[in-house]
Protein backbone atom coordinates (compact mmCIF):
# COMPACT_ATOMS: atom_id res chain seq x y z
CA UNK A 1 0.00 0.00 0.00
CA UNK A 2 1.23 3.46 -0.81
CA UNK A 3 1.21 5.88 2.06
CA UNK A 4 1.34 9.66 1.99
CA UNK A 5 0.54 10.57 5.56
CA UNK A 6 0.98 7.86 8.08
CA UNK A 7 -0.54 7.46 11.48
CA UNK A 8 2.15 6.24 13.79
CA UNK A 9 1.84 5.18 17.40
CA UNK A 10 4.83 4.55 19.57
CA UNK A 11 6.11 5.01 23.08
CA UNK A 12 8.60 7.68 24.01
CA UNK A 13 10.07 7.62 27.50
CA UNK A 14 7.09 5.58 28.62
CA UNK A 15 4.51 7.89 27.15
CA UNK A 16 2.15 6.85 24.33
CA UNK A 17 2.42 9.05 21.27
CA UNK A 18 0.19 9.17 18.23
CA UNK A 19 1.08 11.33 15.27
CA UNK A 20 0.39 11.77 11.60
CA UNK A 21 3.68 12.02 9.79
CA UNK A 22 4.93 12.20 6.26
CA UNK A 23 6.92 9.10 5.29
CA UNK A 24 9.98 11.23 4.76
CA UNK A 25 9.96 12.64 8.28
CA UNK A 26 13.05 11.67 10.25
CA UNK A 27 12.86 10.45 13.82
CA UNK A 28 15.34 13.12 14.92
CA UNK A 29 12.97 15.86 13.73
CA UNK A 30 9.88 14.24 15.21
CA UNK A 31 11.54 13.91 18.59
CA UNK A 32 13.03 17.40 18.56
CA UNK A 33 10.40 19.53 16.91
CA UNK A 34 7.15 17.74 17.60
CA UNK A 35 7.92 16.25 21.00
CA UNK A 36 10.38 18.86 22.29
CA UNK A 37 13.01 16.25 23.14
CA UNK A 38 16.01 18.39 22.25
CA UNK A 39 18.54 16.18 24.02
CA UNK A 40 18.56 14.38 20.68
CA UNK A 41 21.20 16.44 18.92
CA UNK A 42 21.86 16.98 15.26
CA UNK A 43 25.61 16.81 14.65
CA UNK A 44 26.05 15.54 11.10
CA UNK A 45 22.86 14.03 9.71
CA UNK A 46 24.76 11.12 8.17
CA UNK A 47 25.41 8.76 11.06
CA UNK A 48 29.01 9.80 11.69
CA UNK A 49 28.85 11.57 15.05
CA UNK A 50 26.42 9.68 17.29
CA UNK A 51 24.90 12.83 18.84
CA UNK A 52 21.36 11.74 17.92
CA UNK A 53 21.62 8.26 19.44
CA UNK A 54 18.41 7.04 21.09
CA UNK A 55 17.36 3.61 22.28
CA UNK A 56 14.70 1.88 20.19
CA UNK A 57 13.44 -1.27 21.87
CA UNK A 58 16.58 -1.07 23.97
CA UNK A 59 18.97 -0.94 21.02
CA UNK A 60 21.00 2.15 20.04
CA UNK A 61 19.75 3.79 16.88
CA UNK A 62 20.76 6.95 15.04
CA UNK A 63 17.67 9.13 14.87
CA UNK A 64 19.07 11.05 11.89
CA UNK A 65 18.96 7.92 9.74
CA UNK A 66 15.62 6.59 10.91
CA UNK A 67 12.25 7.34 9.37
CA UNK A 68 9.61 8.06 11.97
CA UNK A 69 7.28 5.58 10.26
CA UNK A 70 9.83 2.95 11.12
CA UNK A 71 9.39 3.27 14.87
CA UNK A 72 5.69 2.57 14.67
CA UNK A 73 4.73 0.43 17.69
CA UNK A 74 8.22 0.64 19.14
CA UNK A 75 9.54 1.85 22.44
CA UNK A 76 11.93 4.79 22.39
CA UNK A 77 14.09 6.11 25.18
CA UNK A 78 15.87 9.46 24.94
CA UNK A 79 18.11 11.04 27.54
CA UNK A 80 15.07 12.84 28.97
CA UNK A 81 13.64 9.42 29.77
CA UNK A 82 16.78 8.07 31.39
CA UNK A 83 16.88 10.70 34.10
CA UNK A 84 13.19 10.87 34.92
CA UNK A 85 13.86 9.82 38.49
CA UNK A 86 16.88 11.97 39.11
CA UNK A 87 20.41 11.72 37.82
CA UNK A 88 21.70 8.26 36.97
CA UNK A 89 25.03 6.95 38.18
CA UNK A 90 26.46 7.63 34.72
CA UNK A 91 25.28 11.22 34.73
CA UNK A 92 26.71 11.77 38.20
CA UNK A 93 30.02 10.25 37.15
CA UNK A 94 30.13 12.52 34.08
CA UNK A 95 29.83 15.53 36.39
CA UNK A 96 32.34 14.24 38.93
CA UNK A 97 34.97 13.26 36.38
CA UNK A 98 34.82 16.44 34.31
CA UNK A 99 33.57 14.41 31.34
CA UNK A 100 31.52 17.31 30.05
CA UNK A 101 32.74 20.39 28.34
CA UNK A 102 30.47 22.00 25.77
CA UNK A 103 27.85 19.35 26.44
CA UNK A 104 26.60 18.98 22.89
CA UNK A 105 27.80 15.39 22.44
CA UNK A 106 27.01 14.45 26.05
CA UNK A 107 23.47 13.05 25.54
CA UNK A 108 24.68 10.60 22.89
CA UNK A 109 27.55 9.45 25.07
CA UNK A 110 25.32 8.90 28.09
CA UNK A 111 22.83 6.89 26.04
CA UNK A 112 25.63 4.69 24.67
CA UNK A 113 27.21 4.31 28.11
CA UNK A 114 23.86 3.23 29.51
CA UNK A 115 23.45 0.70 26.69
CA UNK A 116 26.94 -0.64 27.29
CA UNK A 117 26.45 -1.11 31.01
CA UNK A 118 23.29 -3.08 30.32
CA UNK A 119 25.19 -5.37 27.93
CA UNK A 120 28.58 -5.39 29.62
CA UNK A 121 28.21 -4.64 33.32
CA UNK A 122 31.92 -4.94 33.99
CA UNK A 123 33.60 -3.25 31.04
CA UNK A 124 37.30 -2.95 30.34
CA UNK A 125 38.77 0.18 28.81
CA UNK A 126 38.69 -1.59 25.42
CA UNK A 127 34.98 -2.25 25.83
CA UNK A 128 34.42 1.41 26.65
CA UNK A 129 36.33 2.49 23.56
CA UNK A 130 34.45 0.02 21.39
CA UNK A 131 31.01 1.13 22.59
CA UNK A 132 31.80 4.84 22.45
CA UNK A 133 33.77 4.97 19.21
CA UNK A 134 30.70 6.01 17.24
CA UNK A 135 30.25 9.17 19.29
CA UNK A 136 32.46 12.09 18.38
CA UNK A 137 33.64 14.59 20.95
CA UNK A 138 35.86 17.51 20.03
CA UNK A 139 36.43 18.99 23.51
CA UNK A 140 37.41 16.34 26.03
CA UNK A 141 39.75 14.06 24.09
CA UNK A 142 37.45 11.35 25.50
CA UNK A 143 39.73 10.62 28.45
CA UNK A 144 37.51 11.93 31.22
CA UNK A 145 34.54 10.27 29.53
CA UNK A 146 36.36 6.92 29.86
CA UNK A 147 36.98 7.68 33.53
CA UNK A 148 33.35 8.56 34.11
CA UNK A 149 31.97 5.45 32.43
CA UNK A 150 34.37 3.13 34.23
CA UNK A 151 33.49 4.80 37.52
CA UNK A 152 29.76 4.41 36.91
CA UNK A 153 30.28 0.76 36.00
CA UNK A 154 32.11 0.16 39.23
CA UNK A 155 29.42 1.79 41.31
CA UNK A 156 26.69 -0.12 39.49
CA UNK A 157 28.40 -3.49 39.94
CA UNK A 158 29.01 -2.89 43.62
CA UNK A 159 25.37 -1.99 44.13
Partner 1 sequence: MVIEIPLVNITARNTHIIPFEFEYYEPRSLEEALELLAKFKGEAKILAGGTDLLVKMKTRIIEPKVIVNIKRIQGLRYIIEENEHIRIGALTTLRDIEKSTIVEKNLPALHDAVKVMGSIQIRNMATLVGNLCNASPAADTAPPLLVYNARVVAMSTRGKRFIPLEEFFKGPGITALEPDEMLVEVIVKKNNKGSSAFEKVSRVVVDLAIASAAVYAEISSDGVIEDSRVAVGSVAPKPIRTRILEERIKGLRLGSEELKKAIYEIDREISPITDVRSTAEYRRHIVKVLVWNAIERVYRRIRGECV
Partner 2 sequence: MSVEFMFIGKRTPRKDAEAKVTGMLKYTYDLEVPGMLIGRIVRSPYAFADIRRIDVSEAVKMGAIVVTPSDIPQKPYNPRLVSINEVTFKDTYILTYKPRYLGEPVAAVAASSEELAQKAAECVKIEFEKIYKPILDPLEAIKPESPRIHEKIMKGDKWIEVENNIAARLDYDEGDVNRGFEEADVIVERTFKTGKRYHMQLEPKAVLVVLEPGGKLTIYTTTQTIHNTRILISQLFDIPESRINVIRVPIGGSFGSSIQTNYLVPIAVALALKAKKPVKIAYTREEDILDHSNFVFHFKIKIGAKKNGVFTAAEFINILDVGAHQVQPYPLLGTSLGWFISMYKWKNIRYRGIAVYTNKVPGCALRGYGAPEVQWAVETLVDEIAEELGIDPIDLRLKNYVGKGELFWGQGPTVKSIIKSDGVPELLLKGKEIIRWSERGHPSEKKGRFRRGIGVGRGFHTSGAGGPISGEVIDYTGCILKLNEDGTLDYITALQDHGGGTLDAHVKIIAEELGIPPELVNIATASTETTPYDVCTHASRGTYVGGECARRAAQIVKQKILEAAIRIIGRVVNPEALRIGYDKELKQAVVYVEGTDIKLTLAEIARTSWQRNWGTIGAFVSYRATSAPPSFTVYYVEVEVDTWTGKVKPIRVVAGVDVGTPINPDMVEGQLHGGFVMAWGMAFTENTAYDPLTGEIMGRGLITDYKIPTAADVPTPEEFTVIIAKTYEPTGPFGAKGLGEAAMNPAVAAILNAVYNAIGIRFYELPVTPDKIIEALKEKGELEW
How many residues make contact with partner 2 (CB under 8 A)?
55
Would you say the C-alpha torsion 23, 26, 31, 36 has a positive or negative sign?
negative
Q: What is the DSSP letter of 67?
A: B
Specify the 3-state DSSP secondary structure of 41: coil
Stretch of 2-10, 79-87, 98-106, 148-156 lying at the interface with partner 1 (CB under 8 A): 2-10
Pick one of 19, 69, 120, 139: the residue that binds partner 1 (CB under 8 A): 69
Residue 89 and residue 121 in contact, taking contact as beta carbons nearer than 8 Å? no
Nearer to partner 1, 64 or 153 (CB): 64
DSSP E strands in 4-140: the ranges are: 6-12, 15-21, 53-56, 59-62, 75-77
Binding mask 17-56 for partner 1 (x = CB under 8 A): -----xxx-x--x------------x-xxxx--x--x---
For the CB of residue 2, give the shortest distance to partner 1 in the complex, in Å.
5
Amino acid sequence: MCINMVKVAFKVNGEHIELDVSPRELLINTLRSKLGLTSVKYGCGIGECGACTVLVNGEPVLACLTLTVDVNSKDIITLEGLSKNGLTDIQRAFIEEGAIQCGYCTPGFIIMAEYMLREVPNPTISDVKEYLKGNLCRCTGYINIFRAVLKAAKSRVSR
